Structure 1
Protein backbone atom coordinates (compact mmCIF):
# COMPACT_ATOMS: atom_id res chain seq x y z
CA UNK A 1 0.00 0.00 0.00
CA UNK A 2 1.30 3.48 -0.91
CA UNK A 3 2.22 5.76 1.97
CA UNK A 4 -0.33 8.52 2.63
CA UNK A 5 0.46 11.90 1.10
CA UNK A 6 1.77 14.62 3.38
CA UNK A 7 -0.80 16.95 1.79
CA UNK A 8 -3.28 16.06 -0.92
CA UNK A 9 -3.81 19.66 -2.10
CA UNK A 10 -0.93 22.00 -3.01
CA UNK A 11 -2.19 25.59 -3.37
CA UNK A 12 0.26 28.04 -4.92
CA UNK A 13 0.06 31.74 -5.57
CA UNK A 14 1.68 32.83 -8.84
CA UNK A 15 3.37 36.25 -8.74
CA UNK A 16 6.26 36.37 -6.30
CA UNK A 17 5.67 32.73 -5.37
CA UNK A 18 5.65 30.15 -8.18
CA UNK A 19 6.68 32.68 -10.82
CA UNK A 20 10.05 34.37 -10.97
CA UNK A 21 10.53 38.02 -11.84
CA UNK A 22 10.37 37.21 -15.56
CA UNK A 23 6.84 35.74 -15.16
CA UNK A 24 8.01 32.14 -15.63
CA UNK A 25 8.29 29.14 -13.28
CA UNK A 26 11.70 27.48 -13.03
CA UNK A 27 12.37 24.08 -14.54
CA UNK A 28 12.95 22.70 -11.04
CA UNK A 29 9.57 23.99 -9.85
CA UNK A 30 7.81 22.49 -12.87
CA UNK A 31 9.54 19.13 -12.44
CA UNK A 32 8.84 18.98 -8.70
CA UNK A 33 5.17 19.87 -9.10
CA UNK A 34 4.81 17.30 -11.86
CA UNK A 35 6.34 14.64 -9.63
CA UNK A 36 4.10 15.53 -6.68
CA UNK A 37 1.00 15.46 -8.88
CA UNK A 38 2.08 12.09 -10.30
CA UNK A 39 2.27 10.86 -6.69
CA UNK A 40 -1.42 11.69 -6.26
CA UNK A 41 -1.56 15.26 -4.93
CA UNK A 42 -3.62 17.99 -6.63
CA UNK A 43 -1.93 21.26 -7.60
CA UNK A 44 -4.22 24.27 -7.46
CA UNK A 45 -3.23 27.74 -8.64
CA UNK A 46 -4.75 30.38 -6.32
CA UNK A 47 -4.05 33.83 -7.72
CA UNK A 48 -5.21 37.41 -7.89
CA UNK A 49 -4.92 37.33 -11.65
CA UNK A 50 -8.25 37.03 -13.51
CA UNK A 51 -8.97 33.86 -15.46
CA UNK A 52 -7.97 35.22 -18.90
CA UNK A 53 -4.51 36.14 -17.53
CA UNK A 54 -4.09 32.72 -15.92
CA UNK A 55 -5.00 30.55 -18.90
CA UNK A 56 -1.59 30.80 -20.69
CA UNK A 57 0.25 29.95 -17.46
CA UNK A 58 -1.92 26.90 -16.88
CA UNK A 59 -0.80 25.70 -20.31
CA UNK A 60 2.84 26.11 -19.22
CA UNK A 61 2.12 24.21 -16.01
CA UNK A 62 0.29 21.49 -17.89
CA UNK A 63 -2.70 22.11 -15.62
CA UNK A 64 -6.07 20.95 -16.93
CA UNK A 65 -8.15 21.17 -13.77
CA UNK A 66 -9.39 23.95 -11.53
CA UNK A 67 -7.81 27.31 -10.75
CA UNK A 68 -8.87 29.96 -8.24
CA UNK A 69 -8.59 33.36 -9.92
CA UNK A 70 -9.43 37.00 -9.22
CA UNK A 71 -8.54 36.82 -5.50
CA UNK A 72 -11.12 34.09 -5.02
CA UNK A 73 -13.89 35.69 -7.06
CA UNK A 74 -13.56 33.15 -9.88
CA UNK A 75 -13.33 29.36 -9.98
CA UNK A 76 -12.04 28.48 -13.44
CA UNK A 77 -12.10 25.06 -15.08
CA UNK A 78 -9.21 24.80 -17.55
CA UNK A 79 -10.57 21.57 -19.05
CA UNK A 80 -13.73 23.26 -20.31
CA UNK A 81 -12.46 26.89 -20.43
CA UNK A 82 -15.34 28.15 -18.35
CA UNK A 83 -16.03 29.69 -14.98
CA UNK A 84 -17.75 27.29 -12.61
CA UNK A 85 -18.39 30.17 -10.22
CA UNK A 86 -17.84 33.92 -10.22
CA UNK A 87 -18.77 36.91 -8.09
CA UNK A 88 -18.77 40.42 -9.51
CA UNK A 89 -18.19 43.73 -7.76
CA UNK A 90 -21.20 45.98 -8.19
CA UNK A 91 -20.02 48.87 -10.36
CA UNK A 92 -21.94 51.57 -8.51
CA UNK A 93 -20.51 50.25 -5.27
CA UNK A 94 -17.02 50.35 -6.79
CA UNK A 95 -17.51 53.98 -7.83
CA UNK A 96 -18.72 54.88 -4.35
CA UNK A 97 -15.73 53.16 -2.76
CA UNK A 98 -13.34 54.98 -5.09
CA UNK A 99 -14.94 58.29 -4.18
CA UNK A 100 -14.49 57.61 -0.47
CA UNK A 101 -10.84 56.67 -0.97
CA UNK A 102 -10.10 59.78 -3.04
CA UNK A 103 -11.82 61.96 -0.44
CA UNK A 104 -9.34 60.51 2.06
CA UNK A 105 -6.05 60.41 0.09
CA UNK A 106 -6.54 62.52 -3.05
CA UNK A 107 -6.45 61.25 -6.60
CA UNK A 108 -5.78 57.60 -7.25
CA UNK A 109 -5.38 55.84 -10.57
CA UNK A 110 -7.65 52.90 -11.25
CA UNK A 111 -7.98 49.83 -13.43
CA UNK A 112 -10.53 47.01 -13.52
CA UNK A 113 -10.55 43.34 -14.39
CA UNK A 114 -13.70 42.50 -16.27
CA UNK A 115 -15.60 39.35 -15.40
CA UNK A 116 -15.66 36.31 -17.70
CA UNK A 117 -13.15 34.04 -19.41
CA UNK A 118 -12.57 36.69 -22.08
CA UNK A 119 -12.76 39.75 -19.82
CA UNK A 120 -10.25 42.53 -20.43
CA UNK A 121 -8.15 44.59 -18.04
CA UNK A 122 -9.07 48.25 -18.54
CA UNK A 123 -6.78 51.02 -17.25
CA UNK A 124 -7.55 54.71 -16.95
CA UNK A 125 -5.10 57.51 -17.84
CA UNK A 126 -2.23 57.64 -15.32
CA UNK A 127 -2.49 54.00 -14.23
CA UNK A 128 0.71 52.00 -14.71
CA UNK A 129 0.42 48.23 -14.97
CA UNK A 130 2.53 46.54 -12.25
CA UNK A 131 3.08 43.65 -14.68
CA UNK A 132 3.85 45.25 -18.05
CA UNK A 133 3.79 41.82 -19.72
CA UNK A 134 0.07 41.44 -19.00
CA UNK A 135 -2.28 42.75 -21.71
CA UNK A 136 -4.47 45.74 -20.94
CA UNK A 137 -6.67 48.25 -22.73
CA UNK A 138 -6.32 51.95 -21.93
CA UNK A 139 -9.54 53.94 -21.80
CA UNK A 140 -9.88 57.71 -22.04
CA UNK A 141 -12.18 58.31 -19.06
CA UNK A 142 -12.87 56.59 -15.75
CA UNK A 143 -16.52 56.04 -16.53
CA UNK A 144 -15.45 53.70 -19.34
CA UNK A 145 -14.11 51.32 -16.68
CA UNK A 146 -17.69 50.42 -15.80
CA UNK A 147 -18.77 49.38 -19.32
CA UNK A 148 -19.13 45.69 -18.38
CA UNK A 149 -19.33 43.59 -15.18
CA UNK A 150 -16.08 43.55 -13.20
CA UNK A 151 -14.46 41.21 -10.71
CA UNK A 152 -12.26 43.82 -9.02
CA UNK A 153 -10.70 47.30 -9.09
CA UNK A 154 -6.94 47.88 -8.97
CA UNK A 155 -5.60 51.09 -7.40
CA UNK A 156 -2.35 53.03 -7.43
CA UNK A 157 -1.45 56.31 -5.70
CA UNK A 158 1.21 58.71 -7.00
CA UNK A 159 2.81 59.18 -3.58
CA UNK A 160 1.53 56.72 -0.96
CA UNK A 161 3.13 53.32 -0.48
CA UNK A 162 1.03 50.21 -1.04
CA UNK A 163 0.75 49.68 2.71
CA UNK A 164 -0.37 53.28 3.26
CA UNK A 165 -2.91 53.16 0.43
CA UNK A 166 -4.33 49.82 1.60
CA UNK A 167 -4.66 51.06 5.18
CA UNK A 168 -6.38 54.27 4.08
CA UNK A 169 -8.75 52.36 1.80
CA UNK A 170 -9.72 49.94 4.58
CA UNK A 171 -10.43 52.84 6.92
CA UNK A 172 -13.09 54.34 4.65
CA UNK A 173 -14.45 51.54 2.44
CA UNK A 174 -16.05 49.52 5.23
CA UNK A 175 -18.41 46.85 3.93
CA UNK A 176 -18.49 48.21 0.38
CA UNK A 177 -15.60 45.97 -0.67
CA UNK A 178 -12.72 43.84 0.55
CA UNK A 179 -9.37 45.62 0.29
CA UNK A 180 -6.34 43.51 -0.53
CA UNK A 181 -2.67 44.03 -1.37
CA UNK A 182 -1.40 41.39 -3.76
CA UNK A 183 1.95 42.68 -4.96
CA UNK A 184 4.07 45.76 -5.57
CA UNK A 185 1.79 48.48 -6.92
CA UNK A 186 -1.27 46.29 -6.53
CA UNK A 187 -3.90 47.41 -4.03
CA UNK A 188 -7.30 46.03 -4.96
CA UNK A 189 -11.01 46.25 -4.21
CA UNK A 190 -12.97 43.03 -4.59
CA UNK A 191 -16.48 41.88 -3.64
CA UNK A 192 -17.05 42.13 0.11
CA UNK A 193 -16.24 38.91 1.91
CA UNK A 194 -14.46 37.33 -1.05
CA UNK A 195 -10.86 36.21 -0.42
CA UNK A 196 -8.49 33.54 -1.63
CA UNK A 197 -9.76 31.41 1.26
CA UNK A 198 -13.33 31.40 -0.05
CA UNK A 199 -12.14 30.38 -3.50
CA UNK A 200 -9.75 27.75 -2.15
CA UNK A 201 -12.45 26.24 0.07
CA UNK A 202 -14.86 26.01 -2.86
CA UNK A 203 -12.23 24.40 -5.11
CA UNK A 204 -11.27 21.94 -2.41
CA UNK A 205 -14.92 20.99 -2.00
CA UNK A 206 -15.19 20.29 -5.73
CA UNK A 207 -12.17 17.98 -5.40
CA UNK A 208 -13.54 16.19 -2.34
CA UNK A 209 -10.81 17.64 -0.12
CA UNK A 210 -10.74 19.86 2.98
CA UNK A 211 -8.56 22.27 4.87
CA UNK A 212 -6.60 19.49 6.60
CA UNK A 213 -5.43 18.36 3.15
CA UNK A 214 -4.13 21.77 2.06
CA UNK A 215 -0.57 23.11 1.89
CA UNK A 216 -0.45 26.75 0.74
CA UNK A 217 2.37 28.91 -0.64
CA UNK A 218 2.28 32.71 -0.95
CA UNK A 219 4.10 36.01 -0.64
CA UNK A 220 1.66 38.88 0.02
CA UNK A 221 -1.03 39.94 2.53
CA UNK A 222 -3.78 38.76 0.18
CA UNK A 223 -2.53 35.24 0.95
CA UNK A 224 -3.24 35.58 4.69
CA UNK A 225 -6.84 34.24 4.49
CA UNK A 226 -5.58 31.27 2.46
CA UNK A 227 -2.90 30.54 5.08
CA UNK A 228 -5.46 30.71 7.86
CA UNK A 229 -7.72 28.26 6.02
CA UNK A 230 -5.06 25.75 4.98
CA UNK A 231 -3.45 23.21 7.30
CA UNK A 232 0.03 24.62 6.62
CA UNK A 233 1.11 27.95 5.14
CA UNK A 234 4.55 28.56 3.65
CA UNK A 235 5.75 32.11 2.99
CA UNK A 236 8.49 32.85 0.50
CA UNK A 237 11.70 34.52 1.68
CA UNK A 238 10.65 37.55 -0.36
CA UNK A 239 7.21 37.67 1.31
CA UNK A 240 5.62 40.69 2.92
CA UNK A 241 6.22 40.83 6.71
CA UNK A 242 2.48 40.55 7.41
CA UNK A 243 2.35 37.17 5.69
CA UNK A 244 5.53 35.90 7.31
CA UNK A 245 4.00 36.74 10.68
CA UNK A 246 1.17 34.21 10.17
CA UNK A 247 3.10 31.59 8.19
CA UNK A 248 3.93 28.15 9.60
CA UNK A 249 7.30 28.31 7.90
CA UNK A 250 9.39 30.45 5.55
CA UNK A 251 11.13 28.94 2.55
CA UNK A 252 13.63 30.39 0.09
CA UNK A 253 12.56 33.02 -2.44
CA UNK A 254 10.60 32.64 -5.65
CA UNK A 255 13.89 33.14 -7.50
CA UNK A 256 15.47 30.24 -5.57
CA UNK A 257 12.86 27.51 -6.03
CA UNK A 258 11.25 28.04 -2.63
CA UNK A 259 8.23 25.88 -3.48
CA UNK A 260 10.38 23.02 -4.75
CA UNK A 261 12.55 23.16 -1.63
CA UNK A 262 9.54 22.45 0.60
CA UNK A 263 7.89 19.92 -1.69
CA UNK A 264 11.11 17.95 -2.12
CA UNK A 265 11.27 17.65 1.66
CA UNK A 266 7.63 16.69 2.14
CA UNK A 267 7.42 14.44 -0.93
CA UNK A 268 10.84 12.78 -1.18
CA UNK A 269 11.59 11.09 -4.48
CA UNK A 270 11.43 7.33 -3.97
Structure 2
Protein backbone atom coordinates (compact mmCIF):
# COMPACT_ATOMS: atom_id res chain seq x y z
CA UNK A 1 0.00 0.00 0.00
CA UNK A 2 1.53 3.36 -1.00
CA UNK A 3 2.66 5.78 1.71
CA UNK A 4 0.17 8.67 1.56
CA UNK A 5 1.78 10.80 4.25
CA UNK A 6 2.70 14.34 3.07
CA UNK A 7 6.32 14.82 2.05
CA UNK A 8 8.64 16.27 4.66
CA UNK A 9 12.41 16.62 4.27
CA UNK A 10 14.64 14.35 6.32
CA UNK A 11 17.71 16.38 5.38
CA UNK A 12 17.93 20.10 4.63
CA UNK A 13 21.03 21.12 2.66
CA UNK A 14 21.85 24.81 2.87
CA UNK A 15 24.25 26.99 0.93
CA UNK A 16 25.76 29.76 3.06
CA UNK A 17 26.61 32.96 1.18
CA UNK A 18 23.55 34.49 -0.43
CA UNK A 19 21.30 31.89 1.19
CA UNK A 20 21.86 32.00 4.94
CA UNK A 21 24.06 35.12 4.97
CA UNK A 22 23.34 38.36 3.14
CA UNK A 23 25.80 39.74 0.61
CA UNK A 24 27.66 42.97 1.33
CA UNK A 25 26.57 45.27 -1.50
CA UNK A 26 29.20 45.58 -4.21
CA UNK A 27 31.68 43.20 -2.60
CA UNK A 28 32.29 39.48 -2.99
CA UNK A 29 31.70 38.77 0.68
CA UNK A 30 28.85 38.23 3.14
CA UNK A 31 27.74 39.81 6.36
CA UNK A 32 28.75 37.21 8.96
CA UNK A 33 25.40 37.54 10.70
CA UNK A 34 22.49 35.09 10.88
CA UNK A 35 19.07 36.72 11.12
CA UNK A 36 16.61 35.58 13.77
CA UNK A 37 14.09 34.15 11.26
CA UNK A 38 16.80 32.00 9.62
CA UNK A 39 18.22 30.87 12.97
CA UNK A 40 14.76 29.93 14.27
CA UNK A 41 13.82 28.08 11.07
CA UNK A 42 16.98 25.98 11.23
CA UNK A 43 16.32 25.18 14.87
CA UNK A 44 12.83 23.90 13.98
CA UNK A 45 14.39 21.49 11.48
CA UNK A 46 16.70 20.13 14.17
CA UNK A 47 13.88 20.00 16.74
CA UNK A 48 11.93 17.77 14.34
CA UNK A 49 14.76 15.24 14.21
CA UNK A 50 15.74 16.04 10.62
CA UNK A 51 19.33 16.82 9.65
CA UNK A 52 20.78 20.16 8.55
CA UNK A 53 23.90 20.04 6.37
CA UNK A 54 25.80 23.17 5.36
CA UNK A 55 26.96 22.85 1.75
CA UNK A 56 29.24 25.58 0.46
CA UNK A 57 32.20 26.48 -1.67
CA UNK A 58 33.85 27.76 1.48
CA UNK A 59 36.83 26.06 3.06
CA UNK A 60 36.01 23.99 6.17
CA UNK A 61 37.34 26.50 8.69
CA UNK A 62 35.06 29.19 7.22
CA UNK A 63 32.02 26.93 7.61
CA UNK A 64 32.37 25.84 11.22
CA UNK A 65 32.01 29.49 12.22
CA UNK A 66 28.60 29.61 10.54
CA UNK A 67 27.62 26.28 12.14
CA UNK A 68 28.36 27.88 15.49
CA UNK A 69 26.24 30.95 14.68
CA UNK A 70 23.33 28.68 13.75
CA UNK A 71 23.85 26.53 16.88
CA UNK A 72 23.71 23.45 14.66
CA UNK A 73 25.49 21.28 17.22
CA UNK A 74 23.15 22.20 20.05
CA UNK A 75 21.34 18.87 19.73
CA UNK A 76 24.41 16.89 20.69
CA UNK A 77 25.26 15.21 17.39
CA UNK A 78 28.41 15.82 15.40
CA UNK A 79 27.46 17.67 12.24
CA UNK A 80 28.06 16.73 8.65
CA UNK A 81 29.47 19.61 6.59
CA UNK A 82 30.07 19.65 2.83
CA UNK A 83 32.90 22.07 2.02
CA UNK A 84 34.90 23.18 -1.03
CA UNK A 85 31.94 22.57 -3.36
CA UNK A 86 31.73 18.91 -2.40
CA UNK A 87 35.43 18.02 -2.51
CA UNK A 88 35.69 17.88 1.30
CA UNK A 89 33.24 16.37 3.79
CA UNK A 90 33.85 16.82 7.50
CA UNK A 91 32.33 16.09 10.89
CA UNK A 92 32.17 18.83 13.53
CA UNK A 93 32.91 19.41 16.37
CA UNK A 94 35.80 18.91 16.42
CA UNK A 95 36.53 19.40 12.73
CA UNK A 96 37.53 16.07 11.17
CA UNK A 97 37.81 15.49 7.42
CA UNK A 98 36.19 12.15 6.63
CA UNK A 99 36.10 12.32 2.82
CA UNK A 100 38.17 14.25 0.29
CA UNK A 101 38.62 14.17 -3.48
CA UNK A 102 41.74 15.70 -5.04
CA UNK A 103 43.04 16.26 -8.58
CA UNK A 104 46.08 17.44 -10.51
CA UNK A 105 45.29 21.10 -11.19
CA UNK A 106 48.50 22.10 -12.99
CA UNK A 107 47.20 21.98 -16.58
CA UNK A 108 43.92 23.74 -15.73
CA UNK A 109 45.61 26.54 -13.81
CA UNK A 110 48.13 27.08 -16.61
CA UNK A 111 45.33 27.23 -19.20
CA UNK A 112 43.37 29.83 -17.23
CA UNK A 113 46.43 31.98 -16.52
CA UNK A 114 47.30 31.94 -20.21
CA UNK A 115 44.00 33.76 -20.83
CA UNK A 116 44.09 35.84 -17.63
CA UNK A 117 47.79 36.27 -16.75
CA UNK A 118 47.10 38.80 -13.97
CA UNK A 119 44.54 36.61 -12.21
CA UNK A 120 45.04 35.65 -8.57
CA UNK A 121 45.28 31.99 -7.51
CA UNK A 122 44.45 30.47 -4.11
CA UNK A 123 44.66 26.97 -2.67
CA UNK A 124 43.44 26.03 0.80
CA UNK A 125 46.01 25.59 3.55
CA UNK A 126 44.04 23.22 5.78
CA UNK A 127 43.17 24.68 9.16
CA UNK A 128 44.96 27.97 8.49
CA UNK A 129 43.55 29.73 5.48
CA UNK A 130 44.92 29.89 1.95
CA UNK A 131 48.14 30.00 0.02
CA UNK A 132 47.73 32.79 -2.54
CA UNK A 133 49.68 34.15 -5.49
CA UNK A 134 48.89 37.69 -4.36
CA UNK A 135 46.47 39.66 -2.14
CA UNK A 136 42.78 39.00 -2.83
CA UNK A 137 40.18 41.77 -2.44
CA UNK A 138 39.46 42.43 1.24
CA UNK A 139 37.11 39.96 2.88
CA UNK A 140 36.88 37.46 0.01
CA UNK A 141 39.05 34.81 1.64
CA UNK A 142 38.68 33.90 5.30
CA UNK A 143 41.54 32.95 7.57
CA UNK A 144 45.23 33.64 7.11
CA UNK A 145 46.74 34.05 3.65
CA UNK A 146 50.30 33.03 2.80
CA UNK A 147 51.85 34.30 -0.44
CA UNK A 148 53.37 31.46 -2.46
CA UNK A 149 54.48 30.57 -5.97
CA UNK A 150 51.68 29.16 -8.14
CA UNK A 151 53.77 26.22 -9.30
CA UNK A 152 54.43 25.23 -5.70
CA UNK A 153 50.75 25.63 -4.79
CA UNK A 154 49.62 23.05 -7.37
CA UNK A 155 52.68 20.80 -7.36
CA UNK A 156 50.70 18.20 -5.39
CA UNK A 157 47.05 17.16 -5.90
CA UNK A 158 44.54 19.60 -4.39
CA UNK A 159 40.82 19.50 -3.68
CA UNK A 160 40.06 22.92 -5.12
CA UNK A 161 41.71 25.93 -6.75
CA UNK A 162 40.26 29.45 -6.72
CA UNK A 163 41.10 31.83 -9.53
CA UNK A 164 40.05 35.47 -9.21
CA UNK A 165 40.53 38.33 -11.65
CA UNK A 166 39.35 41.65 -10.18
CA UNK A 167 39.71 43.22 -13.63
CA UNK A 168 37.35 40.75 -15.33
CA UNK A 169 33.63 40.00 -15.02
CA UNK A 170 31.63 36.88 -14.19
CA UNK A 171 30.51 36.80 -17.83
CA UNK A 172 34.16 36.75 -18.94
CA UNK A 173 34.75 33.69 -16.76
CA UNK A 174 31.58 31.94 -17.95
CA UNK A 175 32.89 32.21 -21.53
CA UNK A 176 36.36 31.13 -20.42
CA UNK A 177 35.10 28.06 -18.55
CA UNK A 178 33.07 26.98 -21.56
CA UNK A 179 36.04 27.22 -23.91
CA UNK A 180 38.77 25.46 -21.93
CA UNK A 181 37.40 21.90 -21.90
CA UNK A 182 40.32 20.35 -20.07
CA UNK A 183 40.11 16.66 -19.21
CA UNK A 184 39.81 15.86 -15.51
CA UNK A 185 38.67 19.28 -14.32
CA UNK A 186 35.30 20.89 -13.69
CA UNK A 187 34.64 24.61 -13.43
CA UNK A 188 32.17 26.73 -11.49
CA UNK A 189 31.86 30.49 -11.92
CA UNK A 190 30.79 32.68 -9.00
CA UNK A 191 28.97 36.00 -8.84
CA UNK A 192 32.14 37.89 -9.74
CA UNK A 193 35.13 36.93 -11.89
CA UNK A 194 35.72 34.01 -9.56
CA UNK A 195 36.43 30.54 -10.91
CA UNK A 196 36.52 27.35 -8.84
CA UNK A 197 38.47 24.46 -10.34
CA UNK A 198 37.50 21.03 -9.03
CA UNK A 199 37.84 17.33 -9.86
CA UNK A 200 35.46 16.12 -12.56
CA UNK A 201 32.21 14.83 -11.09
CA UNK A 202 32.72 16.61 -7.78
CA UNK A 203 30.04 19.07 -6.74
CA UNK A 204 27.86 19.87 -3.78
CA UNK A 205 25.59 17.09 -5.05
CA UNK A 206 28.34 14.46 -4.85
CA UNK A 207 29.31 15.61 -1.37
CA UNK A 208 25.70 15.47 -0.21
CA UNK A 209 25.24 12.06 -1.81
CA UNK A 210 28.11 10.80 0.37
CA UNK A 211 26.50 12.28 3.50
CA UNK A 212 23.03 10.96 2.62
CA UNK A 213 24.43 7.46 2.19
CA UNK A 214 26.09 7.62 5.62
CA UNK A 215 22.78 8.73 7.15
CA UNK A 216 20.64 6.24 5.21
CA UNK A 217 18.58 9.03 3.62
CA UNK A 218 17.33 8.93 0.03
CA UNK A 219 17.94 11.98 -2.16
CA UNK A 220 14.17 12.17 -2.68
CA UNK A 221 13.87 13.19 0.98
CA UNK A 222 16.34 16.08 0.71
CA UNK A 223 15.44 19.77 0.54
CA UNK A 224 18.26 21.91 -0.88
CA UNK A 225 18.37 25.71 -1.00
CA UNK A 226 20.99 27.81 -2.79
CA UNK A 227 21.61 30.85 -4.94
CA UNK A 228 24.75 30.35 -7.05
CA UNK A 229 25.92 28.50 -10.12
CA UNK A 230 27.78 26.13 -7.80
CA UNK A 231 24.39 25.13 -6.37
CA UNK A 232 22.89 23.92 -9.65
CA UNK A 233 23.94 20.26 -9.30
CA UNK A 234 22.72 20.24 -5.69
CA UNK A 235 19.33 21.70 -6.61
CA UNK A 236 18.88 19.17 -9.41
CA UNK A 237 19.99 16.25 -7.21
CA UNK A 238 17.71 16.95 -4.24
CA UNK A 239 14.12 15.79 -4.00
CA UNK A 240 13.21 19.47 -3.83
CA UNK A 241 15.70 22.09 -4.99
CA UNK A 242 14.87 25.73 -4.29
CA UNK A 243 16.63 28.79 -5.69
CA UNK A 244 16.90 32.03 -3.77
CA UNK A 245 14.98 34.96 -5.26
CA UNK A 246 18.10 36.91 -6.27
CA UNK A 247 19.62 33.97 -8.17
CA UNK A 248 20.54 34.34 -11.83
CA UNK A 249 18.11 32.74 -14.29
CA UNK A 250 20.44 29.79 -14.93
CA UNK A 251 20.07 28.76 -11.28
CA UNK A 252 16.31 29.37 -11.15
CA UNK A 253 15.80 27.33 -14.31
CA UNK A 254 17.39 24.31 -12.62
CA UNK A 255 15.31 24.56 -9.44
CA UNK A 256 11.91 23.12 -8.57
CA UNK A 257 10.84 26.39 -6.99
CA UNK A 258 12.04 29.90 -6.17
CA UNK A 259 11.76 31.42 -2.70
CA UNK A 260 12.30 35.00 -1.48
CA UNK A 261 15.61 36.81 -1.71
CA UNK A 262 18.28 36.55 0.95
CA UNK A 263 17.38 40.07 2.07
CA UNK A 264 13.82 38.81 2.68
CA UNK A 265 15.02 35.69 4.54
CA UNK A 266 13.96 33.46 1.65
CA UNK A 267 15.62 30.40 3.20
CA UNK A 268 13.46 30.80 6.30
CA UNK A 269 10.37 31.17 4.10
CA UNK A 270 11.06 27.88 2.33
CA UNK A 271 11.98 26.00 5.50
CA UNK A 272 8.78 27.32 7.08
CA UNK A 273 6.70 25.50 4.47
CA UNK A 274 7.85 22.16 5.89
CA UNK A 275 8.80 23.08 9.45
CA UNK A 276 6.30 25.79 10.38
CA UNK A 277 6.58 28.02 13.42
CA UNK A 278 3.98 27.46 16.15
CA UNK A 279 0.68 28.95 15.06
CA UNK A 280 1.57 28.86 11.36
CA UNK A 281 0.07 26.45 8.83
CA UNK A 282 3.42 26.20 7.06
CA UNK A 283 2.44 25.56 3.45
CA UNK A 284 1.48 29.18 2.81
CA UNK A 285 4.77 30.49 4.17
TM over 0.5, shorter chain = yes
Instruction: Tell me what 1:108 maps to.
Output: 119
Aligned mate of 2:33, from 12, 24, 28: 24
Q: What is the rounded CA distance, in whole Å, between the counterparts of 1:36 and 1:111 in structure 2?
A: 35
CA gap of 1:15–1:267, structure 2 versus 1, over 3 A, is same
User: Any gaps of 5 or more consecutive residues in structure 2?
Assistant: 24-30, 74-78, 279-285
Contact kept? 1:215, 1:230, Cα under 8 Å: yes
- State the Cα distance separating 1:137 from its structure 2 match: 1.1
Of 101, 114, 126, which residue of structure 2 is paired with 1:87?
A: 101
Which runs of structure 1 show a deviation greater than 4 angstroms over 4 or more consecutive aligned residues?
none
Task: Give 1:70's aligned residue.
Answer: 84
Q: How many residues align?
A: 262
CA pair 15-174 structure 1, distance change in 2 beyond 3 A: same
Is the Cα contact below 8 Å between 1:130 and 1:186 reproduced in 2? no
Corresponding position of 1:12: 14
- Following TM superposition, by how much is the alpha carbon of 1:102 offset from its aligned partner in structure 2, in angstroms? 2.7
* 1:119 Cα deviation from its structure 2 partner: 4.9
Q: Does 1:47 align with 2:56?
A: yes
Q: Matches of residues 120-159 of structure 1 in structure 2 within 5 Å?
A: 120-125=129-134, 127-128=136-137, 131=140, 134-146=142-154, 150-159=158-167
Stretch deviating more after TM superposition (63-72 or 80-89): 80-89
> In structure 2, which of residues 69, 90, 95 is the aligned counterpart of residue 60 of structure 1?
69
Task: Indicate conservation of the 8 Å contact 1:121/1:136, yes or no.
Answer: yes
Bigger share in helix = 1
CA apart distance, 1:178: 0.9
The Cα shift of 1:17 comes to 0.6
1:161-172 matches, within 5 Å, as 161-172=169-180
User: 1:18: how far off?
Assistant: 0.8
For 1:154 and 1:81, the matched residues in 2 are separated by: 22
Q: How far is the alpha carbon of 1:126 from its aligned partner?
A: 5.2
Aligned to 1:228: 236
Q: Pick closer, same or farther for the CA change 1:180–1:96 going to 2, 3 Å.
A: same
Aligned 8 A contact 2:58 2:85 in 1: yes
CA RMSD of aligned residues (A): 2.1
How far apart are residue 41 of structure 1 and its match? 1.6
Take 1:254 and 1:4, find their aligned partners in 2: how far apart are those partners?
27
TM-score after normalising by structure 1: 0.88
Q: Tell me the CA shift for residue 148 of structure 1.
A: 6.5
CA distance in 2, matches of 1:59, 1:66: 13
Cross-structure match for 1:211: 219
Q: Which runs of 5+ in 1 are unaligned?
A: none
Instruction: Using the TM superposition, give the Cα deviation of residue 269 of structure 1 relative to its aligned residue in structure 2, in angstroms.
Output: 3.1
TM-superposed CA distance for 1:55, in Å, is 1.5
